[in-house]
Amino acid sequence: MHDDDRALQDQLRAADPARTLPPASPTWLDHRMEQIMTDQTPSTGTVTPEAPRPFFRRWMPVVGVAVGLAIAAAIVVPLTLGGPKPTVEALQPPLGGGLASGSCLALEPATVAAQEQAFAATVLQIQGDTVVLEVTERFTGDVADRVEVTQVDAMTSDFSGVPFAVGQSYLVGALDGTITGCGVTGADSAELRAVYDTAFPG
């Protein structure tokens, strides 16, 4: 060993703070190693916090719920409100009840064309003496979505000899708010339909 190496070792020993301590015994070293190997104390290392989720990923569930509620509202609200309420008007039954069938002139398209209101309708319901007609076709005049009229006994009136019946379809003419009898109003048959088609072409 060179003198320079020996001098460096002497300097290192002089700077060693543990140079005055007695050397550790092999028994103590073995005991300490066993303690270290068997120590089950959980680590106290720093837990890395979870990285924040991107903004759009955090808001996607909220947006999805909002869209679902909007769709549900769009479906439920119209069902709850029942849609737009139909317009309703009342017409009087034919005048001159009790006329004999021979008192009515033969039905002409001109007679039907002279009506202020003419329409096709189906009987929606009958409550007591009130007949509710659901209008299905308008030929002339302003006619509401539904028309109410008093049921008339076919045996004592000129109501075309045909009383209204639920579910049946009719062709109806009216003047001055009163249903016209004498064949102008009656069941929607091929014969009466032909007269209406002639009276209201196109």
pLDDT in tens, 104-160: 889 999 999 999 999 999 999 999 989 999 999 999 999 999 999 998 775 555 444
Task: Round to whole Å and give the CA distance between 26 and 23.
Answer: 9
**% of the chain at pLDDT higher than 70:** 61
Residues 78 and 116 placed together within one structural domain of the fold: no
Q: What is the pLDDT of residue 44?
A: 53
Residues 106 and 171 placed together within one structural domain of the fold: yes
Residues 95 and 74 placed together within one structural domain of the fold: no
Q: What is the pLDDT of residue 137?
A: 97
Three-class secondary structure of residue 76 per DSSP: helix
Mean pLDDT of 11-23: 71
Among the candidates 42, 68, 85, a domain finishes at 85
Q: What is the pLDDT of residue 131?
A: 94
In what helix (H) or strand (E) does residue 56 lie, and over which residues does it extend? helix 55-81
Q: What is the pLDDT of residue 195?
A: 97
Residues 99 and 183 placed together within one structural domain of the fold: yes
Kindly report the length of the chain: 202
pLDDT per position as a tens digit, 155-181? 555 444 568 999 999 999 999 999 998
Three-class secondary structure of residue 83 per DSSP: coil
Task: Round to whole Å and give the CA distance between 52 and 11.
Answer: 55
Number of domains in the chain: 2
CATH classification of the domain holding 160: 2.40.50
In angstroms and rounded to an integer, the radius of gyration of the C-alpha atoms of the chain is 51
Give the residues across from 121 on adjacent strands: 135, 170
Q: What is the pLDDT of residue 191?
A: 96
Burial per residue of 28-37, b for 16 or more beta-carbon CB atoms within 10 angstroms, e otherwise: eeeeeeeeee
Could you tell me the residue range of the domain that residue 78 belongs to? Answer: 56-85
Query: CA quadruple 105, 110, 115, 117: dihedral positive or negative?
Result: positive
| Mean pLDDT score across all residues of the chain | 77
Is 109 contained in some domain?
yes
